[in-house]
Amino acid sequence: MSPPRLTEASLHSVRSGTILPTYDRGATRIGIVHIGPGAFHRAHQAYYVDTLLHSDKRWAISALSLKSTGLRDALLPQQGLYTLLELGAAPRARVIGAIREMLVGSTDSEAAFARLTARDTRIVSLTVTEKGYCLDASNQLDLANADIAHDLANPDRPRSTIGWIVEGLRRRRAQGIPPYAVLSCDNLPDNGVVLKRALAAYARTSDADLARWIEAEVTCPRTMVDSITPATDDALRARAEKITGVLDAWPIQREPFTQWVVEDVPVMRDADWKSVGVTLAKDVGVYDRAKLRLLNGPHSTLAYLGLLRGHESVADAMRDEQLAQFVELLMTEDLSPSLGAEPGLDVEHYISAVLARFRNPGIRHLLSQIAWDGSKKLPVRLVVTIGEAMRAGRPIHRLLMPIAAWMRFIVRQAKAGVPIVDPDAARLSSIGSACTGDARADLPRFAVCDSVLPPALMSEERFRKELETAYDRLAAPQAALTVELSS
């Protein structure tokens, strides 16, 4: 006999030890619309909201997927319930009940706008990855982006995150309803500042008064989020079923560690977020810089070097003694100096905690997943640090290894005919297919990727020569780190 499907009616069948929502879900009100409800949102922000709903019923979530129907199809039969597995030495299961509504922008547009204009909606949060902001190389709104161009011509039928948010704000203003706060939970430096600038720039193209209202009235707090969240697969589904005793079409997993830092602004004081573990900070930048440089940068380093050396997961890569030593050296010698003297941040302790998280045997975070969207991730995770190191006269040879490894990875994928998951996939596949394996021939081909290889850096002979050296060394990835560790 098959186990029951996870629903409110089957919660009584869930095995002992699984943490369940004990609040009355029917008594909650939707106060948050979340755009981009992927695995990270459901493992992170929805987890905090689920905890908050036990004491404050105003903050249930309407999950808005702009195009994909996958989440709605999976969770609608489960009434929005799903299983979160925290993967430490002993896995722990929790059923999350924070998502009360699932909408798809392409098919539920009026329902979505009704939710965006509801007075109870106080926060619109988003996890849409860097590419979802439709920014150009200078982090300004790219008005030539296909989705942005479509939305400017068809504002009532938006495709982009920016188009949805601005149209929702326009309708609220027209109805005399105060604006919602817009909470970016993506890994962008100064994410709230960048987001607000993009919203205003979009509005300004057609309505200068709306743009001024957004600039004056809409709050976009800066945030920092952190928790390693591997993708769901059939093995996870089977594991969740074994632990809970119920079928779940889309369980999720993450490491036990989780962190959410939000700028301390009035809208965030409307609920007791601190009581559920959210940090409200005057300067989110301290946490943001540490995470981008000491966690995300090493993560990308492990991904590209690890894949070239034949590893599949972060934990596998950390069992490669040479690679683990290289990453620790990169963190202590090259990345931590870029932080300066950050008040309140114990850099040595932070590095130790990150390395312990990477070694966690309970979580299998695939390097291939981390390698997605490299053309968007590398500029903020490593390229900014390389530029600062150049200007400060610090060494850059270790910092260039993950950049060269990304280039080698692109070449390998393209020549093997393996799809590249990246917003610039078509161009990268073309570049990789044309490469010869020789740095002097291949570097100019990659130079068109000016977000990863900025012209200002490419014009520096030191940068080019050291990148060529790193690229050539990685022709033999098993031996490439020997020189770095012995120098």
Work out whether strand 82-86 and strand 279-281 pair parallel, antiparallel, or are unpaired: unpaired
Distance from C-alpha of 325 to C-alpha of 322, rounded to nearest angstrom: 5
Is 236:243 a contact under the CB 8 Å cutoff? no
What is the distance between the alpha carbons of residues 174 and 116, in angstroms, rounded to a whole number? 13
Helices vs. strands in the chain: H and E counts, helices first: 23, 11
Q: What is the DSSP letter of 56?
A: -
* Token pair listed for 451: 């977000």
pLDDT at res. 368: 96
pLDDT in tens, 263-282: 999 999 999 999 999 989 88
Query: 22 with 50: CB under 8 angstroms?
Result: no
Distance (Å) of CA 244 to CA 11, 17, 86, 250, 454: 10, 8, 13, 13, 50
CA 65 to chain centroid: 16
Domains for the chain: give ranges and CATH numbers. Answer: 11-281 (3.40.50.720), 285-486 (1.10.1040.10)
**Residue 99 to residue 84: CA distance in whole angstroms:** 13
As a whole number of angstroms, the distance between CA 251 and CA 249 comes to 6
| DSSP SS3 for 262 | strand
pLDDT in tens, the chain (487 residues): 789 999 999 999 999 999 999 999 999 999 999 999 999 999 999 999 999 999 999 999 999 999 999 999 999 999 999 999 998 878 999 999 999 999 999 999 999 999 999 999 999 999 999 999 999 989 999 999 999 999 999 999 999 999 999 999 999 999 999 999 999 999 888 999 999 999 999 999 999 999 999 999 999 999 999 998 988 999 999 999 999 999 999 999 999 999 999 999 999 999 999 999 998 988 898 888 898 899 999 999 999 999 999 999 999 999 999 999 999 999 999 999 998 776 667 889 889 999 999 999 888 889 999 999 999 999 999 999 999 999 999 999 999 999 999 999 999 999 999 999 999 999 999 999 999 999 999 999 999 999 999 999 999 999 999 999 999 999 999 988 987 776 6
Tokens (6 digits) for 191: 């994410």
What region, left, alpha or beta, does residue 463 occupy, with left being phi > 0 and alpha being psi -120 to 50 degrees? Answer: alpha
Sheet holding 223-226, edge to edge: 223-226, 259-263, 279-281
- Tell me what pLDDT residue 270 has: 95
- Both tokens assigned to 480: 């490439």
Dist. CA 300–CA 130, nearest whole Å = 15
